[in-house]
Amino acid sequence: MENQNPPFPPPPPQGNPYQQNPYQQNPMGGNPMGGNPMGMQQDVPNHIGVLVLGICSIVFCWCYGIIGLACGIIALVLGNKAIKMYSDNPGVYTEKSFKNAKAGRICAIIGTSLSIAYVIFIICYVIFVGTMISTMPWQNMSRY
């Protein structure tokens, strides 16, 4: 009864954290209305990385699909972040880089889903072969 206050600090104010990013990440001084006083637009962050990784996710479909899965997931996360930043204030970023990020994200979605399907296929195959080998009546077969 003595300790009325909870030990943890009060929750932070509600709000979209991405809406505060342009203040911090725009060194050219973008204003909150979305326009840029310098007349210069910057690229959406990581747009090249999203595109390259999204395409790499299908190029590296071999090797258990693990490399493709990693590339695809990284590209998906980065692409979602970039698209969210663009849609929060579209005036700051160039349209071309946004198109790159969007195309990269779609490539990443396709590559990731294929890689996941392939990994699931491998797991099913291993389980299937494992059960087949372990349930084989080896003792009976050794008589003949």
Could you tell me which residues come within 8 angstroms of residue 109 by beta carbon, excluding any fewer than 6 positions away? 72, 76
∠ CA 28-34-36, rounded to 5°: 35
Q: Binding residue for another protein (CB under 8 A) from 44, 74, 82, 107?
A: 107
Q: What residues between 120 and 139 interact with another protein by CB under 8 A?
A: 122, 125, 129
Measure the CA–CA gap between 54 and 20, rounded to whole angstroms: 27
Measure the CA–CA gap between 78 and 45, rounded to whole angstroms: 9
* 53 or 92: CB nearest another protein: 53
100 scored as a contact of another protein (CB under 8 A): yes
46 scored as a contact of another protein (CB under 8 A): no
Binding residues for another protein, rule: CB under 8 A, are 48, 51-52, 54-55, 58-64, 96, 99-100, 102-104, 106-107, 110-111, 114, 118, 122, 125, 129
